[in-house]
Chains A and B, each alone.
Chain A
Amino acid sequence: MNAARRLSTREVARFVARGFLEFPALTPSDVNEQYLEEMGRGAIPEVAAGTPLSLAYPEGSALARLYSHPEVAAIIESLVGADPFVDHHFVHLTLGEAQRTGFGFTDPLPSQHWHQDSTIDTRQGFDLQIMWYPHEVVLDMGGTRFLPGSHLRIVSEAAIGRYQNIKGQRHVVCPAGTMLVLHHGMWHGGGSNVGPSMRHMVKIRLNARVPQVRLWDDSDLTDKDFEQQPIFWALQPRADNDLHSILCENQPWYEADTHRLEFVNRIRLFRYLLGDDSFDADYWCSRLEFGAGRRNEAASGTREL
């Protein structure tokens, strides 16, 4: 087990709710610079799909140093377990003015259409997509655009390309060494680089080799997290870091009806990760399961914290 701190229950719940976590300036400058140097001389290796992460990259290489960085390793372990399979990686380069001029054109390339990676995916668990930015990304570089809370929508890859702008969309602007980890379903696309410099981003997709059940540090989980609180007519403010509130966070682009469905789907995913079907947040699933005996089962059952 890795020595660095694994994610907390609250952090995992936030990942379930938003579909991503971000870690600004996570990796040290020598790893970032080593990657750019290796990239510059074409030294980023190919990796056969399904290779264990521990065998994917040459020892001492920048990408081996990336995944073995204690904090990176702890994040990976918390979400997909130790030594997951590398599904694939890809080096994303977005041409700046200097590179465009070298290729004989001047207009910036348009942004990439919105898409979800891979194909229609209805699994209960998830693959982890790492997006790593080895240098500072400023606004005119067209940093990755992504849509918080989109990860549980079942769509077919580029079919969402019709949408141009969606309320709540984000553009990555970050210091060097920043890492985002995303649920595989996150809607995203590369931006248009209108600046002078090339933008680099490394994407690594990881498949869990173990059930994704309580891989994180769940020592912050308490009995109170399993208790229901007043909803709708709620006069008292919720505690900071209230687990139910984290899971039931709205997004500005959700339709008036679908945000409730998103909550239901998040709770189902969180139950899987928790290994406990008695969990509910703000009663969204209990209500639908009434009559199936769930409430009585949950009230009389024991649970492991």
Chain B
Amino acid sequence: MLVLWLADSNLDAPTVAWSRWDGTGERRTMAGDETEPPYPDGLAALRDGWRLFQASSLLPHYPGTETQTSYLKYEFWFEQLSEVPA
């Protein structure tokens, strides 16, 4: 699994944060383990064979909280299937 958080809602916006989990067990990942994102933007991940299956919605701002900042806003989930030995 690959999750990219981008600078705006366009898939070609720059990556600002990222996470990876490897279900094959070949690689262990954890918080703070990298300094550079694996892809500069979401489109680069698509071009490298990742399948986008979810993107965060654009929601209206709840009255009274318009200037509040919170979780990273532009979240894109990708998957890639790998063969593993039986």
Contacts and interface: CB of A to CB of B under 8 A. Distances in A.
Contacts, number: 95
B26 to A, nearest CB: 16
A265 B67 contact: yes
7 pairs of A and B residues whose beta carbons are closest in the complex = A164-B19, A166-B17, A145-B32, A110-B30, A253-B16, A256-B8, A111-B31
Nearest to B35: A165
Contact of B32 (A153, A189, A253, A255): A189
A261 B70 CA distance: 11
Interface in A124-166: 145, 152-155, 159-166
Interface residues of B, number: 29
Interface residues of A, number: 36
A164 B16 contact: no
Contacts of B7: 254-256
Contact of B17 (A113, A155, A167, A261): A167
Nearest to B71: A155
Contacts of A265: 67-69
Contacts of B29: 164
Interface in B20-59: 20, 28-35, 37
A111 B16 contact: no
B16 A255 contact: yes
Contacts of B18: 164-165
Contact of A163 (B19, B35, B68, B73): B19
B47 to A, nearest CB: 21
A163 B70 CA distance: 13
B18 to A, nearest CB: 6
B19 A162 contact: yes
Contacts of B32: 111, 145, 164-165, 169, 171, 189, 191-192
Contact of A164 (B33, B70, B74): B33
Contacts of A110: 28, 30-31
